[in-house]
Chain A
């Protein structure tokens, strides 16, 4: 508890390594430690303190992504009965999306194609290849998200680029989507509501999983072909010699539940 705030300088306490090691490990200070250590103890406790308001924003987005990838939505059974063929619809687009990204090979271009922002000849090509919006169907700049057509095509394209593109494409798409979704934390949730342009969102709101549990009409993140368990994000550059998680799974030498004070 703070009881004074002195403007004068004070002697900086000398702190031993043992005390510091204990503080880092979250242990109580050894008995007899200098009272001057209290502020530091409190500061470290502050670091472990309960979440503040904005640290829990964005859960909906993460949950939507989780649902997309692993979850079993409540509506799965009903939907599978209603829309059995739906899962076949987006698959070619998904494959082609990756293909065009590879063909074009230039970060922003594939994203721009999905967003309907290319010159019309190029846009036509992209339209023919991957089903990006045809020229003239989407605004080239500052789309109106209020327009259902623009929303459908453009949003689907951006969500696809975000889910499937290179880092750069993802970043470009993410910014657009964050603006449209009214917040960066809402992008996943937003994309989860974006249906394939060929389908009306009112008829088939996403996520609409089929029998296999795969969401229909949605640009789901791929990546299932990658070896699981490895934390290495592709393209991350410098290897840091970081542990594959499965290599660190020493039998839980980890008695405490976690470092957070609120747990």
Chain B
């Protein structure tokens, strides 16, 4: 699929996009909640520009995609911190719930939105690491390189985050 997209196949690229964009947005909505869509669109633009020169397997592709997204998100955060005033539309609450309440979690299955709301409760670095592991499907080593921490620190953050998620669920009385 990757090679076909690099060769110019629109169908193949569409598959890559459909596979990658939901995961990208789930990640960005937690690490860059005010600009997730912008950053995702910019990420794809940049990826498209460099796609022809990319070498790597599927894991490498995903690592590249999320690395690009993370750097874009960092740029965006930097830009916003220099210009604190925000257009009104960007200060309106997004469609993404910031905190899960019992109603969010009391679903037949915990769907993507409730699960995301749950992760958004975690400290930022724990949330990021869990999303990169679970949603992006990256292994510990790759995540460690991506976030600039040691693999051990990544593992600890992920485990703490999961334990906290379990505690929140238990507090909310969710049993399945």
Tell me, in angstroms, the Cα distance from A1 to B113 when the chains sit together: 17
Tell me, in angstroms, the Cα distance from A245 to B56 when the chains sit together: 5
Cβ of A100 under 8 Å from chain B:
no
| Interface pair B175/A245, CB less than 8 Å apart | no
CB within 8 Å of A: which of B100-134? 102, 106-116, 118-119, 130-131, 133-134
| Interface pair A4/B173, CB less than 8 Å apart | yes
Task: Chain A residues near B174: list those with CB within 8 A.
Answer: 2, 5, 39
Interface of chain A: mostly helix, strand, loop or mixed: loop
What's the count of A-B pairs with C-beta under 8 Å?
Answer: 295
| Interface pair B42/A24, CB less than 8 Å apart | no
Tell me, in angstroms, the Cα distance from A98 to B75 when the chains sit together: 21
Nearest Cβ in chain B — how far from A194, in angstroms?
16
Cβ of B3 under 8 Å from chain A:
no
Task: Chain B residues near A174: list those with CB within 8 A.
Answer: 38, 41-42
| Interface pair B23/A260, CB less than 8 Å apart | yes
Question: Given A10-B173, A39-B176, A228-B54, is A241 in contact with B41 using a C-beta cutoff of 8 Å?
Answer: no
Nearest Cβ in chain B — how far from A229, in angstroms?
4
The tally of residues in A whose CB lies under 8 Å from a CB in B reads: 97
Task: Chain B residues near A71: list those with CB within 8 A.
Answer: 8, 10, 13
Interface string of A112-127 (1 = CB under 8 A from B): 0000000000000000
Task: Chain A residues near B87: list those with CB within 8 A.
Answer: 175
CB within 8 Å of A: which of B136-176? 136-137, 142, 145-148, 155, 158-159, 162-163, 165-167, 169-176
Cβ of A129 under 8 Å from chain B:
no
| Interface pair B112/A248, CB less than 8 Å apart | no
| Interface pair B45/A221, CB less than 8 Å apart | yes
Tell me, in angstroms, the Cα distance from A248 to B61 when the chains sit together: 9
Tell me, in angstroms, the Cα distance from A242 to B14 when the chains sit together: 26
| Interface pair A8/B52, CB less than 8 Å apart | no
| Interface pair A42/B95, CB less than 8 Å apart | no
Nearest Cβ in chain A — how far from B145, in angstroms?
5
| Interface pair B60/A248, CB less than 8 Å apart | yes
The interface size bin for chain B is 35 or more
| Interface pair B14/A63, CB less than 8 Å apart | yes
CB within 8 Å of B: which of A27-50? 36-50
| Interface pair B57/A66, CB less than 8 Å apart | no
CB within 8 Å of B: which of A124-147? none
| Interface pair B134/A223, CB less than 8 Å apart | no
Tell me, in angstroms, the Cα distance from A227 to B171 when the chains sit together: 51
Tell me, in angstroms, the Cα distance from A223 to B46 when the chains sit together: 9
Nearest Cβ in chain B — how far from A130, in angstroms?
22
Q: Which among A1, A63, A252 is the interface contact of B13 at CB below 8 angstroms? A: A63
Closest to A223 in B: B49
Tell me, in angstroms, the Cα distance from A184 to B34 when the chains sit together: 13
Tell me, in angstroms, the Cα distance from A5 to B170 when the chains sit together: 10
Nearest Cβ in chain A — how far from B116, in angstroms?
7
Show 10 residue pairs from A and B whose CB-CB distance is below 8 angstroms, ordered by the A residue: A2-B106, A5-B106, A12-B167, A39-B174, A40-B165, A47-B115, A71-B8, A174-B38, A227-B53, A246-B60
Known contacts A63-B13, A254-B57; 17 additional CB pairs below 8 A are: A2-B175, A15-B166, A23-B162, A38-B176, A40-B162, A40-B166, A52-B113, A59-B18, A65-B48, A175-B87, A185-B41, A188-B41, A229-B50, A241-B148, A243-B63, A251-B57, A263-B19
